[in-house]
Structure 1
């Protein structure tokens, strides 16, 4: 009887629980393989080839393509096949930094533009491309007198600085600035009226 009972038992592979266990193991191994494969996948993305500041037109010459692994976060950055014509920057992107997808907009929707001003006083050496600065203006009263300086543009970004080192220039510099479009009229009026303009670094809280 004992021998007959043993021979009538079902083999282990026929047991439902055994089969379920095999399925779970296979699924687990497959899931790990998928995760590892996805983690190894790279995508071509754009990085800034140089410092890009708000208001600047941006095209392929300003960018470089790199292969990176970002996973789900890739949607937040500009893919190598997403560059369009007529784009301008809305924020500063440092050289070598991945370009955020919302950092470039069409020029029609840009809220800033560039102007060039000549500073009446020396521009600090810390003011370089990408710096956040204030533009101050002292209205001209007559040929030799100026009114009290006031802030003309509270939040401008430097595109470039051309310093005049000649003795007669007195340390003045031409500064290309990105300013809000709402401030353009006041800036151009100050330039046309001969106001004394000064570019100074913004307070730390504004950077």
Structure 2
């Protein structure tokens, strides 16, 4: 066999880049499998966090009787929700938390720093059926005038949250209602003054504020 024929019959060494591409593909496959396994494992892990057992309005004490424990798969978001380790004395809601909603830590605060309080007012007009605990309303006030008349209504409180409502559906009540409202402390003086002056108070739900 001649030298050229012998050279052609010898196997050529495998190129290094071909081996590198093989190992790179193997690494990618392993990484993909590991990623899928980690995703499935994480999705199956659940954490015990609190959900609201009822509608909690701003200023309400956030205690165990207003909460229920649920097991949910939150992954990396778990630390942002209230757990038994976070629950302590003196916690109040800083915003409305709907019944069944997971309780974010950002929605509670220290009672000592609360900027709201509750007052009870009686509406002089019928309160819409859509107004329930958690509904955000405006409070309008019409000052009393002579001979049982009232002046032009004006907004007394622009942002109040209904904590409770008791309707008087009797013929004597005329559809009026008594409402416990959560209002800013800065609005307390004017509200109490209007109540003391026998002003005609009315509540108007803010659009899109249903709990």
Q: Distance in 1 between matches of 2:85 and 2:38?
A: 25
* Structure with larger Rg: 2
Q: CA deviation at 1:81?
A: 2.3
How far does the alpha carbon of each residue in 1:41-97 deviate from its partner, in whole angstroms, 9 at most, with x for none? 100011110111122222110000000001112232212321121111111111111
1:200 matched to 2:204? The reply is yes
Aligned counterpart in structure 2 of residue 65 of structure 1, from 69, 91, 95: 69
Structure 1, unpaired ranges of 5+: 1-5, 7-14
User: Secondary structure at 1:170's aligned position in 2?
Assistant: coil
Could you say which residue in structure 2 is the equivalent of 1:42? Answer: 46
1:78 matched to 2:82? The reply is yes
Q: Distance in 2 between matches of 1:125 and 1:20?
A: 66
> Is the CA contact (8 Å cut-off) linking 2:61 and 2:92 kept in structure 1?
yes
How far does the alpha carbon of each residue in 1:149-201 deviate from its partner, in whole angstroms, 9 at most, with x for none? 11000111111110112222222110111111111111011111111111112
Could you say which residue in structure 2 is the equivalent of 1:139? Answer: 143
> Is the CA contact (8 Å cut-off) linking 2:135 and 2:209 kept in structure 1?
no
Could you say which residue in structure 2 is the equivalent of 1:106? Answer: 110
User: Matched residue pairs, number?
Assistant: 198
TM-score (norm 1): 0.82
User: Secondary structure at 1:187's aligned position in 2?
Assistant: helix
Q: Distance in 1 between matches of 2:92 and 2:121?
A: 21
Structure 2, unpaired ranges of 5+: 1-10, 12-18
Q: Distance in 1 between matches of 2:138 and 2:21?
A: 73
Aligned counterpart in structure 2 of residue 169 of structure 1, from 154, 160, 173: 173
Could you say which residue in structure 2 is the equivalent of 1:3? Answer: none
**1:116-155 alignment runs, 5 A limit:** 116-142=120-146, 144-155=148-159
User: Secondary structure at 2:172's aligned position in 1?
Assistant: helix
> Is the CA contact (8 Å cut-off) linking 2:120 and 2:180 kept in structure 1?
yes
Q: Distance in 2 between matches of 1:199 and 1:27?
A: 60
Could you say which residue in structure 2 is the equivalent of 1:179? Answer: 183
